Structure 1
Amino acid sequence: MTENSTVVVTHHPVTDTAADAYVAEVTLNRPDKLNAWTGGMRSRLVAALDVLGDDERCRAVVLTGAGRAFCAGQDLAETAAIDPDDHAAAEAWIDDFGRLFRAVRGLDKPVVAAVNGVAAGSGFQFALLADFRIGHAAVRMGQPEVLSGIPSITGIWAMRGILGRAKTAEFALGGRLVDGTEAERLGLLTRLVAQDEVKAEALAEAARLAALPPGAVALTKGRLRELDDAGLDDAIEAAKKVHTAAYATGEPQREMARFLAGRRR
């Protein structure tokens, strides 16, 4: 096991494969903040995923969160401080997410998300990048960014392939979170299990996938990636323009400040 405070990587040996093969469990580890992102956390996560991607012994990856959340999305205390006139900062923030999304998508091995609790905003998008998503009936999933004055641009890209246009518009514009039962019905979750079985089931699924011929898996994942790589590139560029325009108005900063002030009461 390796640990760097906000990101923890644990190796689980896989039987019936090469003697040193393993499934990597990658845990977001800010439970007191519902595993909300910071820039440093994303950088550590990208570095960890890059190492796993280069390690032939790693045959599958499980993504999960510590405590009662998978990932609540961006830590608003960080983004609320973005200067409305600092266009470069808004663009750099989006590029940061682009690197994270590409790090997950670039893995030529199966990725399973163990959705153990709330997955919201960019945390929800992060879960949707996995090949399989296993959760329980009480999870909450959705795209509430608009409620904080933040446009959902990469979220539209992440959702549309699963939900279609109508449901994507409902999630992006309405900000509603759905429970695990509805998430499974909509295809946001692959499978529902009991709450205390989520991680074990995700690890078991990852071990099953890890036993498959790795060359065929890698080539299949490569083709799946090709189908919508251009869409992600377009979403990142569009997000830079839209978020720069949004932050220039000061609306996101005002809404996030209002949210944070309410949470402190």
Structure 2
Amino acid sequence: MTIDAEAVGQVLAENRDGILLITLNRPDRLNAWNAPMRARLVALINGANTDPAIRAVVLTGSGTRAFCAGQDLNEGRTFDGARAEEWIEEWRRLYGALRRFEKPMIMALNGLAAGSAFQTALLGDIRIGHAGSRMGQPEINSGMVSATGFWIMREMLGLSRAIEMVLTGRLASAEECHRLGILHHLVAPEEVLPKALSIAAELAAKPPLAFKLNKQRFCAATQAGFDETMEAARLLHRQAFDAGEPQRVMGEFLNKAR
């Protein structure tokens, strides 16, 4: 996908002494993402992976309310089955880029991380949040299947908790996320980004080949499950969007929110 000018404004990038700070920048939509944002993020991550001037990446959101609310429902409600398959391919590219990134990837969770944003956060190396950094998988509340989310949560949290979070769609508190180990550090809101940048610099100072080979091994050890999950997601979302339930539920939610 061509990266348009709007997407450049919606996903900002700044080199801070060799650490690429990427900021999701749609605060009026709680940084919810659309296709151009996903394409821009893939390009930035892939570019950083091969750029010797970039030693680490920190991903965060703008504003004080959300890292990212996940999928923009205004986009999702327009999908049919064929577009849903293309949508999953967009996520395959983004999640694949995150999984193949061979340098430190730090998630600075300045607020809510829901749905695909929760999944994205879990694909980072280290996560820092504050007391308002709720995380969860609320797709079922929008009529969507949680195919990729289930797999990522199962890898991180185990089968029982993954099932519970997928079927309830609840958001876990920052304290629970910290207790479960999916938030590694809880700090004051104003310290989230400085802490993330500090950890990024610390990890970037590790022996680079050992770091790279470790991350390659993490990816390889889970690649078969990732490939199976993305194929299942393509088929399940095609079935759901062909039936029309996600579009209907998203439309009802957006109409109530007006």
Q: TM-score scaled by structure 1?
A: 0.93
CA RMSD of aligned residues (A): 1.0
| Match of residue 17 from structure 1 | none
| Match of residue 14 from structure 2 | 10
Letter in 2 for 1:53: N
1:238-249 → structure 2 map (5 Å cutoff) = 238-249=232-243
Structure 1 residue 199: deviation in Å?
0.5
**Residues 63-94 of structure 1: CA deviation (Å, up to 9, x unaligned):** 100112101000000010113xxx32111010
Would the aligned equivalents of 1:59 and 1:214 in 2 still touch at CA under 8 Å? no
1:98 aligns with 2:98: no
Take 1:197 and 1:145, find their aligned partners in 2: how far apart are those partners? Answer: 30
Q: SS of 1:56's equivalent?
A: coil
Structure 1 residue 37: deviation in Å?
0.8
**Residues 122-163 of structure 1: CA deviation (Å, up to 9, x unaligned):** 011010000000101221110000001001000011111111
Q: SS of 1:5's equivalent?
A: helix
**Structure 1: which 4+ aligned runs deviate by more than 6 Å?**
none
Gaps in structure 2 of 5+ consecutive residues? 1-6
| Match of residue 157 from structure 2 | 163
Q: SS of 1:139's equivalent?
A: coil
Q: SS of 2:247's equivalent?
A: helix
Letter in 2 for 1:75: D
Aligned partner of 2:69 among 67, 72, 95:
72
1:257 aligns with 2:254: no
Q: TM-score scaled by structure 2?
A: 0.95
Would the aligned equivalents of 1:157 and 1:235 in 2 still touch at CA under 8 Å? yes
Take 2:118 and 2:21, find their aligned partners in 1: how far apart are those partners? Answer: 18
Q: SS of 1:113's equivalent?
A: strand
1:208 aligns with 2:212: no
Length, aligned pairs only: 251
Would the aligned equivalents of 1:10 and 1:25 in 2 still touch at CA under 8 Å? yes
Q: SS of 1:4's equivalent?
A: helix
Identity %: 51
Letter in 2 for 1:50: N
